[in-house]
């Protein structure tokens, strides 16, 4: 991330002391890879099974927002997702072993649907006093905003050696020689993300509400 605020040694930071984070994850993912590694080579590697990819992403992004997210065991690295048409999608993969999310919103907007126009799908959960709970949560994102705080952070570690996040390649670890970062904990307030994919070992959505409607109705 280009704006982080590790916890001070003499205590937690106040909400006023936590700087706002704004990162272009597309640029991060592209520059995280060594110059000699081409996107085409990564896609060929995935096709041949040399590199792991959990699933092909759709050509639609979705938005995620939350009042607050807290997690134990955070890892992040740059990567390349692919669509079913083998189109390259640069992302920053963020993995959290155990996470709690307060007032979660997730939305997908389909624009100019034939004969109908815009269609919005929105999911909300964790907004009635009991947060959303997730284990082995992995988000392939392009952009994130929020006020972030980390404990015991390591920046610039080889992505293949990350050991704080979820287990397994493609979740808590990346490819060797790629840039990685990790921390024992992560806390983000006023979270806003634009993502291409997400997965979790367990995803417990308390007070779940899901709706589809006409028009542009997104989380942010």
What is the tens place of the pLDDT at every residue in 11-30?
Answer: 444 444 445 555 554 444 44
Mean pLDDT of 26-50: 47
Specify whether the CB–CB gap between 89 and 82 falls below 8 A: yes
Task: Kindly report the pTM of this predicted structure.
Answer: 0.76
Q: State residue 12's pLDDT score.
A: 46
Q: How, if at all, do strands 104-113 and 62-82 pair? A: antiparallel
Q: What is the DSSP letter of 8?
A: B
Count Cβ atoms within 10 A of the Cβ of residue 32 and give its class: 0-12 exposed, 13-18 middle, 19 or more buried: buried
Q: How, if at all, do strands 132-158 and 88-102 pair? A: antiparallel
Report helix, strand or coil for 59. Answer: coil
Specify whether the CB–CB gap between 188 and 71 falls below 8 A: no
Please state the separation of Cα 161 from the chain's center in Å. 19
Mean pLDDT of 89-116: 94
Q: pLDDT of 47-57, one tens digit each?
A: 444 344 468 89
Specify whether the CB–CB gap between 181 and 75 falls below 8 A: yes
Q: State residue 43's pLDDT score.
A: 52
Mean pLDDT of 62-82: 95
Q: State residue 168's pLDDT score.
A: 53
Secondary structure element (H or E) that encloses residue 112, with its range: strand 104-113
């Amino acid at each position: 991330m280009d704006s982080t605020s590790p916890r001070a040694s003499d205590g937690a930071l106040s909400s006023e002391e936590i700087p706002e984070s704004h990162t272009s994850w597309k640029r991060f993912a592209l520059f995280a890879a060594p110059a000699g590694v081409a996107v085409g080579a990564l896609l060929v590697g995935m096709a041949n099974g040399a590199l792991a990819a959990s699933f092909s992403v759709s050509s639609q992004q979705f938005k995620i927002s939350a009042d607050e997210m807290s997690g134990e065991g955070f890892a992040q690295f740059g990567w390349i997702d692919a669509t079913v048409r083998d189109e390259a999608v640069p992302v920053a993969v963020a993995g959290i072993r155990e996470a709690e999310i307060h007032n979660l919103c997730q939305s997908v907007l389909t624009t100019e649907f034939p004969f109908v126009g815009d269609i919005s799908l929105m999911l909300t959960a964790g907004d009635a006093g009991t947060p959303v709970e997730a284990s082995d949560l992995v988000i392939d994102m392009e952009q994130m905003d929020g006020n972030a705080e980390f404990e015991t952070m390591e920046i610039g570690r080889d992505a293949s050696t990350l050991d704080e996040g979820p287990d397994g390649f493609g979740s808590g670890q990346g490819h060797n020689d790629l840039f990685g970062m990790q921390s024992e904990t992560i806390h983000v307030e006023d979270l806003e993300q634009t993502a291409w994919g997400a997965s979790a070992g367990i995803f417990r959505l308390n007070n779940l509400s899901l709706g589809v409607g006409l028009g542009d109705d997104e989380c942010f």
